[in-house]
Structure 1
Amino acid sequence: DNSSNPLDGALVTLQSVDNGGIWSDSLVFTALTGPDGYYSINFTAGLLPFNLFVASAQKPGYQIEFWNEKPTFNLADPIIFFGDSLGYDVNFTLSPGNTGGNNSISGQLTGDNGTVLSGAFVVSSNLLTGELLFTFSDSSGHYYLGGLMNAPHVLLYAADGHVPEFYDDALVWEDATPVLANGNVLDIDASLTGLGNNNAPGMIAGTISNDAGQGLSGVLVTIRDVSSGQVIGYDFSDGQGGYQIVGVHDGDLTVQASKISYISEAQNVQMNTASGGNMMMVNFDLSNSPLGLEPAAEALLPSQLELGQNYPNPFNPETRIRFGLPQAQQVRLMIYNILGQTVNTLVDENLPAGSYEYTWNGRDARGQQVASGIYLYSLETGSGKIVRKMLL
């Protein structure tokens, strides 16, 4: 911390930044600090199609910090790998306080028969800004996500040997129950179903891509037995969009892929290892979710006009912009260059209250690709105007 005391249990995140390569999605590595405050993240940089990352550290009760002593993602100093060794330390000094808001979500994770799940991974996605926060459950199964914005959040839980789920008991994010972080929200508990040992010889694998054919990481892929409805296996896609699920038995199965901000998809397949071999390929092409997210329930409506930071930022070739409307009104979402000249109009219509997401593909109103540089995006309504900066 800022008194030079080592911080135990701080979460360090190393997130890839799209730098014009073939990957528009982000690959995330995480680590927890030990009692001495040290952490390490190991991977083979030479196997990745990119070498540009942004690092952050966070711990409940402290302000999140991006490297190098920066308060936000878009201000962070990039970390560039040349080879498999960075050659310098990436250190953080956290200050007491909140991580961006005065709200929190907490709860307990249990498994079958009420056994507590320690070390379970919990990720929160802000439906207005797209920001992600990570934490792990403690030895009693409790988790805490602090410093949250007053906004609806979708939670995803994952623990070894158990079926991951979105809160509350959902396998796809569209079926999740968003949690409004308004104050200290307690008892957002989840009970994860144990995944039985399956020694069946079958394997289902494949690749998950977006509309541009680029691999998507972090997609939750589940396989359900059609007759029993039980999940028999799962995986999260890797940085290339690949996944692999072993121990798949014969029969009619449903393979499902879900990632927040993309339309979840499912495919019905029939595994027959006797005649079709032990391996089956099932690929998915996921499209961005509809431009306007479904208006939230009244209790989850934004309390004020909100415009989130675009994500990813910097970006190439496209980026997502989220905003929230507390009431129905005429909305204009505009892109400007640094001189204040209009580049493109993404929205110019009357929208109901709710949370929305729009994608800008980096092109002007004539469909021409714009030059790299700094751009402004503006949310203009009858009740106010918000302007933010982004980097292409």
Structure 2
Amino acid sequence: MKCWLWFGIMVLFLAAPLFGQARRIVLLEEATNASCAPCAANNPNLQAFFSTHFGGVVSVRYHAWWPGYDPMYQLNTGDNTARINYYGISGVPNYMLDGANYGVPGDPAFMAVQMRNNMAQASPVKIAVSANISAGELVADIKVIALANVTPANLWLRTAVIERMVVYANPPGSNGERDFPDVLRKLLPDPAGMAIPALNAGDTLSYQLTTPVNPAWNWPDLAVVSWLQSDATQEVLQANISLPTFIVETADPLADLLDPNQAVTKSLHVLNDNPQPVNLNIAVNALQISPGWSYSLLYNGAAVDSIAITLAPNETLNFELEVLAGPEDGSIKLSVLAKNQDDPYGYGYAVDYFGLILSGEVLFVDDDGGENYEYYYYAAFDSAGIAYTSVEQSALALLAYAIPAGQFAAVVWNVSWGFPALTPEDVAFLSAYLDSGGNLFIAGQDIGWDIFDPSGSSNFPAAQSFYHTYLDANYLSDNAAVYAMQGIPGDPITDGLAFNINTIYSRYPEQISSFSGNGALILKYTNSSKYGAIRYDSGNYMTVYSGVGLEQMSDSHARIAIVGRALNWFGISGVGIDPEPGAAPQELFLAQNYPNPFNPSTAIRFGLPQNGEVRLTIYNILGERVAELANGTLPAGQYTYTWDGRNHNGRPVASGMYFYRLESEGKIFQKKMLLVR
């Protein structure tokens, strides 16, 4: 049955003293498909971001006609096609924020950074959306209120009817997905929208749009999203939805470089700027916390587990987050989430806090899109005896301003297969750091592709210049189609190394050459003339770039050696760099266990510079001794002991955090490890 459409438009120009800027609500749009395998892999990332930032962002998801069958596209081919073609999208999944195309939705943390950057640019207009929805008809009332003169040209007001969650008992396509958020059902009054005249501060435009409700829609789950977009630039100036929205706000920095035992307090608030009351619940989730660190949620000066409150229109909730740094090096990452208790999907708005005590000569940046590949680097650092500070890429932008020049002798950047490989902020930070005489090791798959392919999310001139100038890399191909690599004889980093490229994820090993001709190619694809890694000494800074991720290297010795030797080439000396089994180190050391987390067993390595008494013991978090692996005299050398997760009675211990302690030469070294059953 064809849907009929009627819409009435009432336009009012009211001169009112409304000068100022409005809270910006960001529009998230996505093109997806129920038979697209990468969509099934990446849509959870998009939804993880959206569900914890609702109110800062609202969304509409378009369903494409490729690569396979999609019933949500079939139910409205015209509107879905129009919006996908509007952005010239040629691959799915693909997401846009405020009209800017960012490609594959790979990293929730990066999407949150993008959203916050847009929110920081207040909008000259406010959009109010309400809807009266029944089984037969949907009536939407929309107001566009100019708080300042609106200068962008060729403005259009666009409105979408969405179904908040379309759920199928069985996957409707071939990619296994059953749940589809914010599905586009209808564009009102049509895909083009309504042309908006020039707006002066104080003007108000009111529209009423009506459409029948298709019986295939779940009408109680419908909502209306409206946005103001410039067709001259595709920029979205403002958006809103016919549901209550709110955000958590603070004037305080949400990332700190801290001293041991330092306490900080953050003042936060939520304003209910909706015309109806909202029922909120505020809670704090510890995403990561080092031993000895603590935090508290404070309401009216008292520590509470959570805050449950009903906010009247225009009422503000004030509360605080208190953080106490530990006595030693470490970090904390917290998420403060305000949930709408009346939202059936449990959506809310979260702000994250990151606190860090700097240590060591190496800054490690984890940019792998939320995977756990950082542990490969941790094992290499610990094996080399290198102290380091670890920070997520999303927090680096907040902390970069506070990191003293010359604090770190090297930056190690883990891209893995994360997107975007580099953001403009990343490039600015790394360029300034290298210009000051720093050193960089960066590794990952598809970095060059992401920077140079037009559909890449790092496809911007500054990234391309960085790739050519600082890395001295010339991108040739995103797939060398050879899945083994070998080092270059005599090279200080890769001499004698060889490994296969494993299938930890799909393999697209990069092929590169030297851009200037002065860089040294250091990893060759076996039995070919192709290369995948380069080192470059500019005379001021030094860089090592690998077009395959550390986690893709099948040989653990090669992984450890490449990182350790690269740091040694940078002039950073640790103990045990590229160790030989049994060789006596220059000083006593205890390496991080590997693997970590582990199940059922893990290896613990230590080194003795001279003959001596040694005791290696396992403790639980209560300080109780669980097992003793070594207790006696050992000659100088390096040793590896395996713990099988059993206590001194031979019984398996429970999952959880454990500590292993090395006592020798009157010194005590202790590290933590995680057993996951």
Q: Which has the larger radius of gyration?
A: 2
Please, what TM-score do these two structures have when normalized by structure 1?
Answer: 0.39
Q: Which has the higher contact order (CA 8 A, sep 6+)?
A: 1
Please, what TM-score do these two structures have when normalized by structure 2?
Answer: 0.26
Structure with more of its chain in helix, by fraction: 2
